[in-house]
Amino acid sequence: MPGTLHRSPRKAKGAGAERREEILAAALRLFGEYGLYGVSTRHIAQAVGVSQPTLYAYFASKDEIAAELHARAFRELEARLKLGVRDVDTLEAVAASLRIYIDFGLENPDAYRVAFMIEGPHGRVAVAGPADESDVSVPGHTAFDILRRMIADLHARGLGAGDDPERMAQSIWAGMHGLVSLLIARPGFPWAEREALVAGHVRMLAAMAMRRDG
């Protein structure tokens, strides 16, 4: 007698798309704690309270769950940057804008890890949507564009004149990603006090973005 069930599916009416959110919430928590490859689809299903095949009614694969979290993390980061990056006339203002990125990563290590630090198939970072990263529609490019525009803004004001703005933006991005990813990946390292470390780091990067000498 296969397929017999004694529990009642659909606990409440119109549970429709909420299951999908439950799955994503559980997956985000578990991926952050145990890593993408340390969590099985059965673990996720158990955390949600459904059977394992049920996940495949909402996602085509485990990677697609990670890709959705990846895309959402980028959208959240972009939303924060759009709200937070305003005037960039002083070093403190530039540093504050850069902190938005770093604070996002440190406050959402699960999302940041899923978005930036988990190796996907073939050693590449998992990307939702088109696989061609030169496509500006790929999540993450919008976030980087905000940084790029900020640097271009500074350049138009005659700051950071000696360097190509594009290169400078990439250097600054790398500087921010490096600190966030290391703080997340190596919690056992004897780091300096975090607030001072982050504050000094963003001031360093902001100063480099604004310096007038070559």
Partner DNA sequence: ACAGATTACCGATCATCGATCACTTATCAA
Partner DNA sequence: TTGATAAGTGATCGATGATCGGTAATCTGT
Give CA–CA dist 17/14, Å, rounded.
8
Instruction: Indicate the residue among 19 and 126 with the shorter CB distance to its own copies.
Output: 126
Partner whose footprint covers residue 181, from DNA, its own copies, none (CB < 5 to 8 Å by kind): its own copies
191 binds, among DNA, its own copies, none (CB under 5 to 8 A by kind): its own copies
Distance, in Å, from the CA atom of 100 to the CA atom of 117, rounded to the nearest integer, reads 18
Kindly state the tokens that stand for 113: 């890890």
In angstroms, rounded to a whole number, what is the distance separating the alpha carbons of residues 150 and 82?
Answer: 11
DSSP 8-state assignment for residue 7: S
From the list 165, 175, 181, the residue with the least C-alpha distance to 205 is: 175
Which pair of tokens denotes residue 103?
A: 């604070």
| The two structure tokens encoding residue 54 | 């049920």
- Site membership for DNA, residue 192 (CB under 7 A): no
Among 21, 89, 92, 166, binds its own copies (CB under 8 A): 166
Q: Which is nearer to its own copies, 33 or 87 (CB)?
A: 33
| Least distance to DNA, CB of residue 69, Å | 14
Are the C-beta atoms of residues 173 and 160 closer than 8 Å to each other? no
Instruction: Determine, following the binding rule CB under 7 A, whether residue 121 of this chain makes contact with DNA.
Output: no
Q: Restricting to residues 118-137, name those near its own copies by CB under 8 A.
A: 118-125, 131-134
Show the site string, 184-213: x = touches its own copies by CB under 8 A, - = not.
Answer: -xxxxxxxx---xx--xx--x--xx--x--
Site size toward its own copies, by CB under 8 A = 55
* Binding of DNA by 2 (CB under 7 A): yes
Binding part of the chain for its own copies, among 1-9, 60-68, 82-90, 109-117 by CB under 8 A, reads: 109-117
Give the nearer residue to DNA in terms of CB position, either 106 or 125. Answer: 125
Q: What is the DSSP string of 120-175?
A: -GGGSBP-SS-S-TTSTTSTTHHHHHHHHHHHHHHHHTT-STTS-HHHHHHHHHHH
10 phi-psi bin (left φ>0, alpha ψ -120 to 50, beta other) = left
Site for its own copies, rule CB under 8 A: 31-38, 113, 116-125, 131-134, 163-164, 166-168, 170-171, 173-179, 181-182, 185-192, 196-197, 200-201, 204, 207-208, 211
Site for DNA, rule CB under 7 A: 1-5, 7-10, 13-16, 19, 39-43, 50-54, 56-57, 60-63
